Amino acid sequence: MQGSSRRKVKIVCTLGPASNTPERIEQLIRAGLDTARLNFSHGTHDVHRALFTSVREAAKRTGKYIAVLQDLQGPKLRVGKLAAEGIQLRAGDEVLLFPEGTSPIASTHGRIPLPISAEIAEPLSRDLRKGSKILFDDGKILSQVKEVIGCEMVIEIQVGGKLTSNKGMNLPGTPLSLPCATEKDLKDLKLGLDLGVDAVALSFVRTPKDILFVKEQIRKTSNHSPLIVAKIEREEAVYAPDGILEVTDGLLIARGDMAVELGAQKVPVIQKMLIRMCNQLGVPVITATQMLESMISCPTPTRAEASDVANAVFDGTDAVMLSAESASGEYPIEAVQTMSKIILEAESEASRYSVHQQQVPLSGSLVESIEFSASRIATHVGAAAIACLTHSGTAARTLAKYRPEIPIVAIMDNEASLRKLAFCWGVEGILIPELVATDDLFGMISRVLLENKRAELEDYIVITAGLPTVGRGTTNAIKVHQIKAVRGPARSSPL
């Protein structure tokens, strides 16, 4: 039973107005959703609580273990509330930025007063210098700082345009002192921990300290331990990712703000660099932003979008993400189906076009040596599957680092740990009642694979496990096993 048409690259879908009912979420799961993203830049706690419940219920109906990713807003740089018609800015205009909810202190003579969110005014006045660039509305409007006066800033417009309420701001080239996790983020995080989200994405990560701070907050306030995913979009993180990769559980390449901060021409190279670094360390990586943007309003993607998704697959990404396409677009189900088809087509030719490099085990790591060897052995013997007996999922994630041609099946007794593998390339999961040492361990594995159609009689399978105890963190053995007639049910549930 060698070979598989199962998709290896996972799909993350953002939920929103176009996908907020239990029925629509179930449709998305059946179309190929692996992870549901809850975007905390929008919506109330009640909205997100309902979405979380709907995902869990839909997953149960489909017999799948779907992860929930809580995406925290982070320090939102934005203008304040403006008149309904907005403000028309022209090259040469002088603009006074002042904290929303206050009256300007500096002179407004010959200047256009423009409120910015109050919580960012003071830290920005510390960080900005004369000559610093400020971009508005995804880079459509460009300005330069002329003067900083207390918590207010005088800027000159270089490229004008119409500016409306709450549009975003970017400060390319300016290191920010704003905390990565705001007061709002910590309140949202508490909700996520109470619900039991499987992963938390941090926006605008700059240094390892940002991640360690949030991990410490989680440790102090909850027994729940979600994965932490660092969103890479700021210049500081792009050009010094090594320390971040050492402490994060995953990476999300947020190409939107990254393009505004650094220039769109740099994004493809940065994407390849970050994916390669993640692959080398075995850190799951998600590629995001505008992957099928035209499908917000069109039932088919552009040729460029299809190529973008395929190239992310060839680069070695673990997952790809839909944003507005699935959250507010007119064709959310079609977008997921289309993305899945593109991934499968790319994967069928990945051996010919992929730039993924064969990784080698880290020196001194027993689990890396075991899983690396298992990937090679499985290919040589033509195995139907590589079965990882694992409590935490670490063995399966490690095996995925080597991108074996043979399907990876994680056999686990912990549903929460199993869901976290929804971000990981090529890993399928099977839940069993309890993982214990038994005289018929290999027979149990054979039954599990047969019942879940991962193998057939007479197939060879490669098994990695901790023997003889099957304890946590004890992976120390590889077994090549041929499936013969087996007895008794395995009582498992497929992912």
Q: What is the CA radius of gyration of the chain?
A: 25
C-beta separation of 287 from 320 below 8 A: yes
Beta strand 141-149 pairing with 152-159:
antiparallel
Identify the sign of the CA torsion 99, 103, 109, 115: positive
Q: 246-259 burial, b for 16+ CB within 10 Å, e for fewer? A: eebbbbbbbbbbbb
Token readout for 182 is: 């705001």
Instruction: Work out the number of other CB atoms within 10 angstroms of the CB of residue 475.
Output: 27
Q: Which amino acid is at 329?
A: G
Residues forming the active site: 37, 78, 231, 289
**Residue 141 belongs to what H/E stretch?**
strand 141-149
To 10 degrees, what angle do helices 267-281 and 255-262 make?
A: 130
Taking the C-alpha atoms of residue 143 and residue 171, their distance in angstroms, rounded to an integer, is: 10
Residue with tokens 């509305």: 137
Beta strand 94-99 pairing with 35-39:
unpaired
C-beta separation of 413 from 454 below 8 A: no
Residue with tokens 């507010």: 328
Residue with tokens 């006074």: 96
**Residue 332 belongs to what H/E stretch?**
helix 332-348
Instruction: Return the DSSP state at 145.
Output: E
Taking the C-alpha atoms of residue 101 and residue 115, their distance in angstroms, rounded to an integer, is: 8
C-beta separation of 230 from 249 below 8 A: no
